[in-house]
Amino acid sequence: MLRSLLLAVPFALGVGPGRAAETTTVTPDQLRALAGQAVVSGSPRTARDMTRALLQRDPGDVEALLIDSRANRDLGEYKPALASARQAWKLARLPERKFAAAMAMAQAQSSAGRRTAAQVWLRRAAQVAPDDRARALVARDYRYLRKVNPLSVHLSFGIAPESNINDGSAHEVVEIEALPGIVLPVRLAGSALPLSGLKISSGIDLRYRVAQTSTAATDLTFAASRNDYVLSSEAKQRAPGVSASEFTFARSTVGLTRRFMSPKSLRETTLSFQGGMTWYGEQHYSNLLRLSFTQSKPVSRVARVSYGAAAERVTGPRAPHADVVQANLGYGTRLGNGGFLSLSARVAKSDSDITSADFREASAGLRYAPPKPVLGTQTSFGLSLRQRHYPTSPHVPGGGARNDREVTASMTMTFDKLDYFGFHPTMTLSASRKTSNADRFDVDNIGLSVGIRSSF
């Protein structure tokens, strides 16, 4: 009976002085189609009149609610637009309608200037997207919102079993210069040996854009991260007097960043100033001030080069006071097979108020992402080398120079077939070995980190 119900809706067809409005009788399905055509063709007020008639007949008409939301949004009536979209989300049962309701909420929130809330609704839309085409639409809209939203929020979380959370020595017995010219073997305490356990990391990065033009942007930034640890039963037996909280590390910074873009060369320039603090073992460890400069530019259609420099001053109640300067160079390119290769290099110099803390450092790294999935996952491989030179060290006989060399290999797998609200789980396997002419600083570490990554 409801299907055959007819609704009488007046349409003004060229109504002028002395002419009466014509009345056309249509079915609910026909009226929905007409309302949809009206809103798409730029007649939102007419579309809203039609959806009101439909909703008077059936307040649970999901299609009418979706059209009503769009019509109100086009009219600048964001409160009723949100109300209709929210009601459609509440009532929708079919995946296609659930997806359409989430997208309507995101669009209404964005039009109302609530772009962060719109991004949340886009993630809800991703969760109920019925097919790849719908997911691609969500990704496109999310990238747009990320570009125009003055507030950017990035959350990170990871759990990683590690074989050496305290950078303990690989040797149980090391040689120490007890007296000038007299070197004795010394057995290290359990707390100085590798302690295995679980690393739990969390972090937040906030950016608020305070000014923007077509070629420049100014951002306020805030970042905070924290690493907590849980000792394994083996580690507790090896070092019974040690608490995992002794290795807790936290860092927070606030900053100001200015970005410039050259329209002709597409060269990007970034200037950044940061101030922050670190905590180690739940105690205030250091303060830092950092100034950095970075430029990047395309060198071909598939390659880009970057270079930069930074200066940092470290002070604080427990850290050696130091002035650190560094320079870095990077190159990334899309290969002919569709894979991606990036190369990086860095040099740094630190001068401290404690002579033995002075160092010079050089490092290089590469990362390769194959064009095709490995074991069904998007995978990348990394390799890095680092060498650090301390001109003098109390751990070397005669206070001589200490030289550390470290190599790290890693593999990161992104399980892009698993998607939850636009996030993919990731797993990183890493192994590092540091060798030194001071035995105490020979360190091996193996870690397996599980985290999440945005799919947008």
> What is the mean pLDDT of the segment spanning 350-367?
95
Amino acid 2: pLDDT: 30
Torsions phi, psi of 171, nearest 5? Answer: -115, 135
Question: What pairs with residue 278 in β-bridges?
Answer: 251, 286
Task: Please list the residue range(s) of the chain that carry CATH number 1.25.40.10.
Answer: 30-148
Give the pLDDT band (50/70/90) at residue 421: confident
Task: Please list the residue range(s) of the chain that carry CATH number 2.40.160.
Answer: 157-454
Q: Which residue, among 303, 281, 166, 175, has the nearest Cα to 226 in the 3D structure?
A: 281
Residue 6 has pLDDT above 60, yes or no: no
In the chain, what percentage of residues exceed pLDDT 70? 94
**DSSP 3-state assignment of 35?**
helix
- Of 3-17, 48-62, 189-203, 273-287, least confident by mean pLDDT is 3-17
Q: Are 10 and 36 in contact (CB under 8 A)?
A: no
Could you read off the pLDDT of 76-108 as tens digits, one per residue?
A: 999 999 999 999 999 999 999 999 999 999 999
Could you read off the pLDDT of 149-205 as tens digits, one per residue?
A: 999 999 999 999 999 999 999 999 988 876 677 778 888 999 999 999 999 999 999
Q: In the structure encoding, which two tokens stand for residue 189, read together?
A: 């305490």
Alpha helices in 41-114, H assignment, sequence order = 44-57, 62-74, 78-91, 95-111
Give the pLDDT band (50/70/90) at residue 26: confident
Q: Please, is 329 exposed, middle or buried when counting C-beta atoms within 10 Å of its C-beta (0-12, 13-18, 19+)?
A: middle
List Cα–Cα distances, 60 to 52, 64, 325, in angstroms: 12, 8, 65
Give the pLDDT band (50/70/90) at residue 23: low
Q: Which residue, among 347, 350, 349, 351, has the nearest Cα to 362 in the 3D structure?
A: 347
Predicted structure pTM score:
0.84
> Regarding the domain delimited by 157-454, which CATH topology (the fold level of the hierarchy) does it fall under?
Porin (2.40.160)
Angle made by CA atoms 365, 416, 418, in degrees to the nearest 5: 140
Q: Which residue, among 440, 437, 328, has the nearest Cα to 384 in the 3D structure?
A: 328
Question: What pairs with residue 162 in β-bridges?
Answer: 197, 447
- Whole-number Å distance between alpha carbons of 119 and 146: 8
Instruction: Provide the CATH number for the domain formed by 30-148 in this structure.
Output: 1.25.40.10
List Cα–Cα distances, 39 to 69, 70, 75, 77, in angstroms: 10, 7, 10, 14
Average pLDDT, whole number, for the chain? 91
Q: How many CB atoms lie within 10 A of CB 59?
A: 11
